[in-house]
C-alpha cells in the first residue's frame, strides 16, 4: 500500500485526494452498503442483499471493490460447521461517520417526507437532538458555506473530479433509498457529485461546466435539470448561456461537502498542490469541520451519537 502511494505521488497527473475519495464512495450502492453497516450493523452478504433488494452479482462486485478500496475488511466466522465471511468497516470507513450524520441532518432540514427519519440522540447530554456545523480550528459553531472560502490548488477540475463510467443507479423493489433519498441522489453518481463540487468552487455557466469538466452536454443538462428540480440549484440568468447558482438548500449541502473533503485529505493522497483548500473567514485558518450538539453545544464524537430507527411501515 505504501509503495503504491509513493508511485502515485510521483506522477503529476492523476486524481487529487478528493477525486480519489469520490471514486471510492460516490456511488449509490456503495453509500447504501455503508449506511446499512453504520445504522443497522449489517455485516453479512445475505443481510445486505435482503435489506437493499440488491442482485447478488452487483452486491458481490461492490463488496469486492470496497475490500480492495480499504473500506471493508473480510473476517471469517464459523456457522453450522462452515467457514463464512462477514465484512467489517475499516478505520477509513468508520471515519466517514460525520458525513453520514451531516447527510441525516441535511435531509431532516430540507426534504419533506412521508415516513420518519431515524432519531439522533446525543448520549453526552441524553437528548434527542440535531447537530450543527462547527470549525474545530477556532471553536465557533453555526458555520455555513457563506462563512468559508473554497479554492483549488493547481489541479484541473478533471483532477478534482474524475468521474467514472456511468453505473447502474439504484432501482429496487425494497425501496433501499427510504432513509436518505435526496442526498444519495445528489452524491450517488459521480457526475452529479462532480457538478455540485464544481458549483461550490464557483462555476456558474453551462458552458464553463462543460469546458472545465469535459462533460457531455446531454449529461450536463440532465444533471442540472435534476438539481433544479431538487431545488439545489436555480437558474439565475436564463437564455442561451444560462447561469446557475446554488440555492439555500444547495449551499447548505456544504457541510456534507466539507466533511467529504476533510475525510479525503486524511485518507487519500493526490499529486502535489491538487488539494482543495477551505478557509474559515472568521478565524482565517483552514476550516476543519466538526459537529456540535444543538441541545448542549458540545462537540459530538462518534461514540456519543445513537440513531434509533423509525418503525418500518409494512405498506411502504
Ligand atoms: Zn474557524
Ligand atoms: Zn448534547
DSSP per-residue codes, 237-291: E-SSS-EEEE-HHHHTTHHHHHHHHHHHHHH---STT--EEEEETTT-SB--EEE
**Phi, psi angle pair for 184, to nearest 5°:** -70, -20
Q: Identify how many contiguous H helices and E strands the chain contains and give both numbers.
A: 14, 11
Domain that includes residue 200, residue range: 2-308
What residues form DSSP beta bridges with 308? 119
Residue 316 resides in a domain: no
Q: What spacing in Å lies between the alpha carbon of 61 and ligand 2's midpoint?
A: 40
| Per-residue model confidence (pLDDT) at position 142 | 94
Query: Quick check: is 313 in a domain?
Result: no
C-beta separation of 52 from 42 below 8 A: no
- Specify if 314 maps to a domain: no
Instruction: Report yes or no on 24 lying in a domain.
Output: yes
Distance CA 56, CA 42 (A): 16
Contacts by 35-43, CB closer than 8 A, 24 or more apart:
35/100, 35/179, 35/180, 37/72, 37/87, 37/89, 37/93, 38/89, 38/97, 38/100, 39/118, 39/179, 39/307, 39/309, 40/309, 43/86, 43/87, 43/88
Mind listing the pLDDT tens digit of every residue in the chain (316 residues)? 444 444 344 444 678 888 888 888 888 889 889 988 998 899 999 999 998 888 899 999 999 999 999 999 999 999 889 999 999 999 999 999 999 999 889 988 888 775 667 889 999 999 999 999 999 999 999 999 999 998 877 666 666 655 554 455 555 444 555 555 677 767 767 778 788 888 988 889 998 888 888 888 888 998 899 899 989 999 998 887 889 999 999 999 999 999 999 999 999 998 887 778 899 999 999 999 999 999 999 999 999 999 887 765 444 3
Q: How far is the CA of 295 from the centre of ligand 2 (A)?
A: 5
Q: Report the separation in Å between the CA atom of 170 and the middle of ligand 2, taken as the mean of its atom positions.
A: 35
> Could you tell me the three cell numbers for 41?
450493523
Say how many Å lie between the CA of residue 147 and the centre of ligand 1.
9
Domain count across the chain = 1
Query: Can you give the pLDDT at residue 7?
Result: 37
Q: Which pLDDT score, from 0 to 100, does residue 290 have?
A: 97
Q: How far is the centre of ligand 2, averaged over its atoms, from the C-alpha of 95 (Å)? A: 20
Cα-to-centroid distance, 117 and ligand 2 (Å): 19
d(CA 301, CA 94): 12
Does 69 map to a domain?
A: yes
For residue 240, tell me if it sits in a domain. yes
Note the pLDDT of residue 8: 41
Residue 315 lies in a domain: no
Distance 137 CA to ligand 1 centre (A): 5
CA distance 311 to 316: 11
Q: Could you tell me the distance, in angstroms and rounded to a whole number, from the CA of residue 183 to the centre of ligand 2?
A: 25
What does DSSP assign to residue 306? E
Residue 52: inside a domain, yes or no? Answer: yes
- How far is residue 78 from each of residues 45, 83, 86, measured CA to CA in Å? 15, 5, 10
User: Which grid coordinates belong to 249?
Assistant: 438548500
Amino acid at each position: 500500500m505504501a509503495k503504491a502511494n509513493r508511485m502515485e505521488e510521483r506522477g503529476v497527473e492523476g486524481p487529487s485526494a478528493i477525486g480519489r475519495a469520490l471514486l471510492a464512495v460516490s456511488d449509490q450502492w456503495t453509500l447504501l452498503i455503508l449506511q446499512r453497516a453504520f445504522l443497522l450493523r449489517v455485516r453479512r452478504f445475505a443481510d445486505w442483499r435482503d435489506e437493499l433488494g440488491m442482485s447478488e452479482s452487483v452486491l458481490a462486485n461492490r463488496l469486492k471493490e470496497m475490500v480492495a478500496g480499504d473500506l471493508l475488511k473480510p473476517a471469517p466466522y464459523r456457522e453450522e460447521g462452515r467457514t463464512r465471511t462477514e465484512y467489517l468497516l475499516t478505520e477509513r470507513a468508520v471515519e466517514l461517520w460525520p458525513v453520514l450524520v451531516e447527510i441525516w441532518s441535511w435531509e431532516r432540514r430540507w426534504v419533506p417526507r412521508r415516513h420518519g427519519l431515524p432519531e439522533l440522540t446525543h448520549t453526552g447530554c441524553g437528548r434527542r437532538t440535531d447537530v450543527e456545523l462547527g470549525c474545530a480550528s477556532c471553536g465557533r459553531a453555526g458555520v455555513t458555506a457563506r462563512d468559508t472560502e473554497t479554492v483549488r490548488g493547481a489541479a484541473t477540475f478533471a483532477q478534482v473530479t474524475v468521474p467514472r463510467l456511468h453505473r447502474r443507479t439504484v432501482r429496487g423493489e425494497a425501496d433501499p433509498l427510504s432513509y436518505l433519498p435526496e442526498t444519495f441522489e445528489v452524491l450517488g453518481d459521480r457526475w452529479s457529485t462532480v457538478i455540485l463540487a464544481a458549483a461550490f468552487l464557483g462555476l456558474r455557466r453551462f458552458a464553463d461546466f462543460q469546458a472545465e469538466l469535459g462533460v457531455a452536454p446531454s449529461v450536463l443538462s440532465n444533471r442540472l435539470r435534476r438539481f433544479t428540480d431538487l431545488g439545489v440549484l436555480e437558474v439565475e440568468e436564463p437564455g442561451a448561456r444560462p447561469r446557475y447558482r446554488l440555492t439555500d438548500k444547495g449551499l447548505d449541502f456544504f457541510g456534507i461537502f466539507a466533511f467529504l473533503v476533510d475525510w479525503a485529505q486524511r485518507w487519500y493522497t493526490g499529486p502535489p498542490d491538487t488539494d482543495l483548500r477551505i478557509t474559515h473567514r472568521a478565524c482565517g485558518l483552514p476550516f476543519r469541520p466538526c459537529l456540535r450538539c444543538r441541545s448542549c453545544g458540545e462537540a459530538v464524537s462518534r461514540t456519543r451519537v445513537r440513531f434509533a430507527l423509525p418503525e418500518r411501515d409494512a405498506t411502504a
